[in-house]
Structure 1
């Protein structure tokens, strides 16, 4: 087991956690095993607030969590209800849809069928009434159209290593935005940002060089594949321009 106080980013100086009339000391600790200690992103001792505690400071930390989502089958899931757009002429159209022969037959069956007041019968009657309203709505009302947003073009040279590095930089950036005056957090953020930016430029340069070498080879050996690759590059540039505009 390890004491995190004074050993993790955000509290490398080991701030005091207790203030009283006898002086100041460190009496509030965070203890973690070696495996969990490596997952702690930062540890911070907040300033003493008299309304929070009589003599203790608040300690906080952030842990890098790794988890795996497993798909489970459940029979208790229900489909989301259908949404309809309600306009000025919707009331009249909805009433006319209720007067259709099919819905009139359902309404008559609903009114004639006399059942007991058990919970199963009440649930069935409620479901039948909802089906009548839903049937009329599907005939008379319009469902809202889903907005189809263009997806960002996937960069072929942006591999999984760069994705992980960018994820770490974003995570450190969030911590830095919360504690902008902490020199340790600031230094670590800009260090990883420079490493990520340098690797990103190297990966892009390697990708361009490989594409040029491939074009030189295909121009002689396979002209058809050469022009196909040229067209793919031009199409990717057009998609990028459309996305940025």
Structure 2
């Protein structure tokens, strides 16, 4: 197996394209910095017909086009979609690693469903993951109850902070279910 030594260009950015973008891009292609790069690309005889030579040629041409686009065009703003899923407070790196391993073995098992060793390994990991997850969750709530018991009389601020962490996030709506007339 041959390992490529050619550095690849980063993924090109997304640009906004409108009616005057054609003229602006053509003008940017005629700027001295871009034309010198394009001339160097055209007159460069270093490119060979093997995979490395083709990769170098593509990267050189792509850098010319990217430079012209950076000069002439506006870039799209990156939109952050959705919320990042917040991990549970008891979810730690051990559980994350177990879940990742379980997912890996599940994918491998789906490709080879009749392998008894893989099936046993996958079921063992599933059992371990679920048992560990339930244990961590149980211990987390036990610790919270101990903290609540200890702070109920001595530190009301901490007590109510702990109570507020127990509220589920879907209770964002502060409205009461019972109207005033009832």
What TM-score do you get using the length of structure 1 for normalisation? 0.45
CA contact (8 A) 1:97 1:136 kept: yes
Number of the residue aligned with 1:84: 15
- Provide structure 2 residue ranges, at least 5 long, that are not aligned to the other structure: 1-6, 45-62, 173-182
Distance in structure 1 (CA, Å) of the matches to 2:162 and 2:110: 43
Q: How does 1:72-111 map to 2 (within 5 A)?
A: 81-86=12-17, 90-91=18-19, 93-94=20-21, 110=32
* SS in structure 2 at match of 1:163: helix
Residue aligned with 1:170, SS = helix
Give runs of aligned pairs for residues 129-148 of structure 1, distance below 5 A. Answer: 134-138=70-74, 143-148=76-81
| Structure with the higher fraction of residues in helix conformation | 2
Residues of 1 paired with 2:171 and 2:85: CA distance? 8
Larger radius of gyration: 1
Task: Count how many residue pairs are aligned between Structure 1 and Structure 2.
Answer: 145
Counterpart of 1:3 in structure 2 is: none
Q: Which residue of 2 aligns with 1:200?
A: 133
Task: State the Cα RMSD in Å.
Answer: 4.1
Structure (1 or 2) with the greater strand fraction: 1
Q: Structure 1 residue 79: deviation in Å?
A: 6.1
Alpha-carbon distance in 1 for matches of 2:133, 2:103: 15
Structure 1 residue aligned with 2:87 = 154
Point out which structure has higher relative CO (alpha carbons under 8 A, 6+ apart). Answer: 2
Give 1:208 deviation, angstroms.
0.9
